[in-house]
Chain A
Amino acid sequence: MIKAIIQKIVSLDGILSCYIIDREGEIIEYVGKKKLDEFIVSAIIASISQELSTQMDIKNNFSITIMAEENNLFIVTHKDFVLAVFTDPKIDTGKIRFELRKGVKAISEEL
């Protein structure tokens, strides 16, 4: 069922891959159109999230949108997991944030 949720996210225009990662950096689920080393990706995403939580003393959920030359990376944290999505660089960021919020809600209900 979780796979179906992230398959729906990846089916949106401009989304290349989607990861659900636990707070320790282990992959819970993954769907992708773009080939990436999923273990490196999950470790880096968990590390970025951890760094922000620790440095800024954030206990609640937060999100990070990283806009880079080749791809954008959206990271949304939940108390039990991190949802991360790689996209094309010219995607509508507001639309993606909106879809990810819905995705986080659906995943949290499943877990």
Chain B
Amino acid sequence: MNEEGLRPDVNSLDVLISLADLYIENGLFDEAKDLLKTAIKENNEKIKPYCKLGKIYISQGEEDEAFAVLKEALKISPENEEVNQLLNSLEAGEIEVVEEEKEIEKTDKIEKKKEEKGRKEERAIKLEPVSTLGEILKNLLKIKGIIGAIVVDDIGALIDAQLELPVEQESTGAIISSIYDKIGYSALDLKIGKVSKVFFELPGGNIIVLGSKSLRFIVLTTKNVLLGGLEDIVMESFYKTIAFLGVE
């Protein structure tokens, strides 16, 4: 509402979003985009217009523009599930170009449900204080998308693991550790310096490996997660593990 509180402010977010929805319903995507750009300019702390604009860009195959607007959204709300999922799909090339407005509406409804679910989950992912290594790893598994954590020493011997999937802890830890070490040696030959992190994006899921002199900290994730979004929380658990074990 405007200052008088009597009639809607034409630049209020709800009005702009409603108008943009009307344009989308009628296939007027360029007009909807202009309106959403105004909505972002006038309400640049609100995530909704960024997501909606990003989805229009995606629906029209304008991936570079979608990427840019969703990256802006991520700066405002780094843990927003909708933004992370859209960015992840863009990075992985899993979003198909759809021009039917019904597809956008359908996606909106699904995303609204996800948004609500995401808010509940965001409240639950704060890492709690811990007293054992197992608890550090179990805490990590509370984060959406993380399905396993393995800690091995510098020769690949298992120290601890928490897994939600049926894989053999010792051999998985040893194999990933040996590949990480090979990459570490190769990095020296390539003169790119000491390796600190490696991300593997594989057909069945992703692996994040952080290494120190004495430890390899391995985190397994589902395929559809934004690896960059997990980086900070995984780093925090890695440093907690180093501190807990009292190693370098």
Which residues of A are interface residues toward B (Cβ below 8 A)? 36, 40-41, 44, 47-48, 51-52, 55-56, 58, 60-73, 86, 92-95, 97-98, 101-102, 105
Q: Which B residues are CB-close (under 8 A) to A93?
A: 199, 227-228
- B80 to A: closest C-beta gap in Å: 15
Could you tell me if B183 and A48 are in contact, using CB atoms closer than 8 angstroms?
yes
Q: Which B residues are CB-close (under 8 A) to A65?
A: 197-199, 201, 227
Assess whether B67 is interfacial by the CB under 8 Å rule.
yes
Could you tell me if B183 and A66 are in contact, using CB atoms closer than 8 angstroms?
yes
Interface residues of B in 181-199 (CB under 8 A from A): 182-183, 186-187, 189-199
Query: How far, in whole Å, are A41 and B202 apart by their CA atoms in the complex?
Result: 22
Could you tell me if B91 and A66 are in contact, using CB atoms closer than 8 angstroms?
no
- B44 to A: closest C-beta gap in Å: 20
Which residues of B are interface residues toward A (Cβ below 8 A)? 63, 67, 71, 87, 90-93, 175, 178-179, 182-183, 186-187, 189-203, 226-228
Given contacts A48-B182, A63-B201, whether A95 and B190 have CB atoms under 8 Å apart is no
Could you tell me if A97 and B192 are in contact, using CB atoms closer than 8 angstroms?
no
Could you tell me if B175 and A68 are in contact, using CB atoms closer than 8 angstroms?
no
Q: Which B residues are CB-close (under 8 A) to A70?
A: 191-193
Closest to B202 in A: A62
Could you tell me if A51 and B182 are in contact, using CB atoms closer than 8 angstroms?
yes
Query: How far, in whole Å, are A61 and B202 apart by their CA atoms in the complex?
Result: 7
Could you tell me if A95 and B93 are in contact, using CB atoms closer than 8 angstroms?
no
What are 23 A-B contacts with C-beta separation under 8 Å?
Answer: A48-B186, A51-B179, A52-B200, A55-B178, A56-B202, A58-B202, A58-B203, A63-B201, A64-B200, A64-B201, A65-B198, A65-B227, A66-B195, A69-B196, A71-B192, A71-B193, A73-B190, A86-B192, A95-B71, A97-B91, A97-B201, A98-B63, A105-B93
Q: Which B residues are CB-close (under 8 A) to A36?
A: 190-191
- A25 to B: closest C-beta gap in Å: 13
Query: How far, in whole Å, are A63 and B228 apart by their CA atoms in the complex?
Result: 15
Q: Which A residues are CB-close (under 8 A) to B202?
A: 56, 58, 62
Query: How far, in whole Å, are A44 and B194 apart by their CA atoms in the complex?
Result: 16
Given contacts A94-B91, A97-B91, A101-B91, whether A47 and B193 have CB atoms under 8 Å apart is no
- B227 to A: closest C-beta gap in Å: 8
- A90 to B: closest C-beta gap in Å: 13
Closest to B189 in A: A44
Could you tell me if A56 and B190 are in contact, using CB atoms closer than 8 angstroms?
no
- A54 to B: closest C-beta gap in Å: 10
Identify A94's interface contact among B179, B190, B226, CB under 8 A: B226
Could you tell me if A98 and B67 are in contact, using CB atoms closer than 8 angstroms?
yes
Given contacts A55-B178, A101-B92, could you give 7 more A-B pairs where the C-beta distance is less than 8 Å? A40-B190, A63-B200, A64-B201, A67-B195, A95-B71, A98-B67, A98-B90
